[in-house]
Amino acid sequence: MKKIHVKHIGPISNSGVLNLAPITFFCGRQGSGKSTLAKLISTCLWLEKALVKGSKTIKYVTSYSRFKKELCGYHRLSDFFSAESYLHYESDFFVFTYQDGKFDVQEKDLQHFLMPKVMYVPAERNFMVAIEHAEKIKKLPPSLQTLQDEYLRALNRAKGVLPLHVDEVKLQYDKLNKVTWVVGEGYKTKAYQAASGFQSIAPLVVVSDYLAGMVKEQAEEPMSAEDKEKLRKEIQKIQSNSKFTEEMKNLLMEELNSRLKIDCFWNIVEEPEQNLYPQSQRTILNVLTQNFNQSPHNGLIITTHSPYMINYISLNIKARAVAEKCPDCAEAISSVVPKESWIKAEQVKVFEIQPNGSVIELETYEGMPSDNNYLNNALAETNILFDQLLEIEDEDDNQTLETEEKDN
DSSP codes of every residue in 41-87? HHHHHHHHHHHHHTSS-HHHHTSTTHIIIIIGGGGT-GGG--TT-EE
Residue 244 pLDDT:
76
* Between 299 and 362, residue with greater pLDDT: 299
pLDDT given at position 376: 61
pLDDT number for residue 249 = 67
CB 85 within 8 A of CB 98: yes
Condensed to tens digits (0 to 9), the pLDDT of residues 27-57 reads: 988 899 999 999 999 999 999 999 988 888 8
Whether the CB-CB separation of 11 and 33 falls below 8 Å is answered with yes
**Which is it for strands 23-28 and 299-304: parallel, antiparallel or unpaired?**
parallel
Instruction: Say what the pLDDT of residue 337 is.
Output: 93
User: Which residues are CB-contacts of 373 (< 8 A; sequence separation ≥ 6)?
Assistant: 27, 307, 310, 350, 352, 362
Amino acid at 6: V
Q: What confidence score (pLDDT) does residue 351 get? A: 95
Choice between 317 and 364, residue whose per-residue pLDDT is larger: 317
pTM (two decimals): 0.86
More confident residue, 342 or 258: 342
Least confident range of 35-44, 98-107, 157-166, 224-233: 224-233
Which pLDDT score is estimated for 380? Answer: 66
CA geometry: angle at 211 spanning 210 and 215, to 5°? 125
Helix, strand, or coil (residue 296)? coil
Give which of 281, 280, 283, 285 is closest to 267, Cα–Cα.
Answer: 285
Is 197's pLDDT higher than 80? yes
Cα within 13 Å of Cα(123), Cβ side: 16
| Residue type (1 letter), 44 | C
pLDDT at position 247 is 67
